[in-house]
A and B are shown apart, each in its own frame.
Chain A
């Protein structure tokens, strides 16, 4: 299983699990991101800075700590 951190830019992936606290899970759910969502990685610069992902046309910045807890699979 791989996390959002391992996905390269411009690829779309499907979320299969979000571990960690329920705070992050809920904040993400409110933006429409949860298990089953398909998100596109717009920016993932290794070592530096948060990821930028796209979901239903809106851009969301996700810190690397959060991204590490989002498990995804290729589609």
Chain B
């Protein structure tokens, strides 16, 4: 039994998914974060379901890549049930999608989520009347508090058991428009019925909307004879409503939605909304930037203070452990090398990575879920225009500070291919949490937080210039920002905890084993003295950058995971007292190189998937050149500023 969770961005799909499937899908208070389809097998009320969390979509048209995918996926797989999740506080805006889904001929129920938000806004919904009008069960929920979710799935079970009987009937448009749709539907049925898998009414509407994807399917089937008919009917529609053909039906659905809305909603008294007032400051054209900078600075300092405190304590502890180890094992035996490198790997994870990663991820989760990022997009729109993009592109970029992989995927929210390419390249150059660990653990810890901050700023300057150059090479007018600004929501501690844990688990389960394994490989290379070979091979590079030859191997391993470079640095140098073997200038040069050079393998993979292989290779080349250039620059001029 397959169930699809579908709804507009930010309606709480992932929250409902996670409530029943365990935390697997990243939730956040901004559009476009679920870009992959999360599927999970769940056992509920004695039945087993395959639950799929879809990316949020405003409609089933092919306006951008993410939305086009939803329609295709939904229709190509056989779903037994659609759970349409609606943000109750945005009912009017959400119903058009519901009306589209109804035409797919799949059993459906509605989850009316965010009931708490709705009542805060003074919106009262007559649930039974809504259910009656839509011909399907409607269940109210507050997913973030896990209310109503159980009942939702009890309902789901009933509906699935009823099977075909529970397919909701289409809701007709106004008579004049309905006649046009029926005429085209009839035409499709007559000529294409056996060949198209799509429900004919749905297809008729999409053709009338000029939807490229559905047009292309039919033209494969020799549908040219249809296109004349479509054109004639479109002209009729335009005459009837006086709106351009590409949006007339979309707006018609909105009118129908508002009609339903009017019938089931009573607006009472909204509770005083401090959030409106908050936006007056947060999005103010002067104060807004002040707040943005304050938030970023305090974010930065809290992570640093917290992380450095722990790193200091933990490193001394592990240093002692390393020393006592040499008392137990013979320093030249392979066992010593093996045990020692395992200890390096483990201690690196605990002492260097986690102290920064945990507060970093908690902070990022709060920023994401509170709904601050779309405000950042608003504030940064003018700046982004200067580098040839628009405000929306800042969202993937900011997500990049967590991890480049979801950041590159989030570029799907951009409708233009060119914007997507530039944003993806930029996002892969943002210092992700792994690179931040290197910046914090090395530069901030040994050189002071000011220098770490300077690296972030320098990175932003470089990224802006890269964006500028790319948009100069691809001159095309960016369509401009159209972005919904969601209300602020204070994320519940449960959500913060689970989301942070989800991301830390990723580090513990995936990255840490790689770190330990990497340490062991390095230990063995050292034992068999193979590291000398690699270091020798890389000596032109290390010599150019003025770094000791032993760091050569760490640069290679850094491509796997950026944290690896830091942990292996201590291992290769044989001490955690970095400053006894490296000068401050060398620390800076090393970090600059690690921050800029080649994105990690996971990012390379997602770049070739989202853009293509040539772009991926280009990014690798560009970043490598930039890294060498900048670190050489710092080597030569670093002493002037340090």
User: Is B210 an interface position by the 8 A CB rule?
Assistant: yes
Are B244 and A25 touching (Cβ within 8 A)?
A: yes
| Chain A, residue nearest B484 (CB) | A60
Q: Chain A residues near B243: list those with CB within 8 A.
A: 34-36
In-complex Cβ contact of B378 among A18, A34, A55, A61 (8 A): A61
Are A34 and B481 touching (Cβ within 8 A)?
A: no
Q: Chain B residues near A22: list those with CB within 8 A.
A: 210, 244, 246-247
User: Is A13 an interface position by the 8 A CB rule?
Assistant: no
Q: Chain B residues near A60: list those with CB within 8 A.
A: 482-485
Interface string of A43-75 (1 = CB under 8 A from B): 101001110100111111111111000000000
In-complex Cβ contact of A49 among B247, B250, B257, B378 (8 A): B378
User: Is B135 an interface position by the 8 A CB rule?
Assistant: no
Interface string of B324-344 (1 = CB under 8 A from A): 000000000000000000000
Identify which of B61, B247, B283 gathers the most chain A CB atoms within 10 Å of its CB.
Answer: B247
Are A24 and B482 touching (Cβ within 8 A)?
A: yes
In-complex Cβ contact of B482 among A28, A35, A37 (8 A): A28
In-complex Cβ contact of A34 among B250, B377, B385 (8 A): B250
Are A29 and B479 touching (Cβ within 8 A)?
A: no
Q: Chain B residues near A29: list those with CB within 8 A.
A: 246-247, 250-251, 254
Q: What CA separation (Å) do A26 and B416 show in the bound complex?
A: 13
Identify which of A22, A49, A61 gathers the most chain B CB atoms within 10 Å of its CB.
Answer: A61
Are B482 and A31 touching (Cβ within 8 A)?
A: yes
Are A23 and B63 touching (Cβ within 8 A)?
A: yes
Given A30-B63, A30-B250, A31-B93, check contact A66 B479 (CB 8 Å). Answer: yes
Are A65 and B210 touching (Cβ within 8 A)?
A: no
Q: How large is the interface on A (under 10, 10 to 19, 20 to 34, 35 or more residues)?
A: 35 or more
Q: What CA separation (Å) do A24 and B390 show in the bound complex?
A: 13
Are A30 and B483 touching (Cβ within 8 A)?
A: no
Given A32-B254, A58-B93, check contact A50 B415 (CB 8 Å). Answer: no
Q: What CA separation (Å) do A65 and B96 show in the bound complex?
A: 27
Count B interface residues, CB 8 Å: 44
Identify which of A30, A31, A48 gathers the most chain B CB atoms within 10 Å of its CB.
Answer: A30
User: Is A27 an interface position by the 8 A CB rule?
Assistant: yes
Q: Chain B residues near A65: list those with CB within 8 A.
A: 390, 477, 479-480
User: Chain A at the B interface: mostly helix, strand, loop or mixed?
Assistant: mixed
Are A26 and B250 touching (Cβ within 8 A)?
A: yes
Q: Chain B residues near A21: list those with CB within 8 A.
A: 479
Given A21-B479, A60-B485, A61-B391, check contact A30 B59 (CB 8 Å). Answer: yes
B48-102 residues at the A interface, CB under 8 angstroms: 58-59, 61, 63-64, 89-90, 92-93, 96
Are B89 and A57 touching (Cβ within 8 A)?
A: yes
Q: Chain A residues near B96: list those with CB within 8 A.
A: 30, 32
Are A45 and B485 touching (Cβ within 8 A)?
A: no
| Chain A, residue nearest B249 (CB) | A29
Q: Chain B residues near A45: list those with CB within 8 A.
A: 285
- What's the nearest-Cβ distance from chain B to residue A24, in Å? 5
Q: Chain A residues near B89: list those with CB within 8 A.
A: 57
Q: What CA separation (Å) do A34 and B246 show in the bound complex?
A: 11
Q: What CA separation (Å) do A46 and B479 show in the bound complex?
A: 20
- What's the nearest-Cβ distance from chain A to residue B11, in Å? 12
Which B positions have Cβ atoms within 8 angstroms of A?
58-59, 61, 63-64, 89-90, 92-93, 96, 121, 210, 242-244, 246-247, 250-251, 254, 257-258, 279, 283, 285, 374, 377-379, 381-382, 385, 390-391, 415-416, 477, 479-485
State the 9 A-B residue pairs at the shortest beta-carbon distance, nearest first: A63-B480, A63-B481, A30-B58, A29-B250, A65-B480, A29-B247, A66-B480, A34-B251, A59-B485
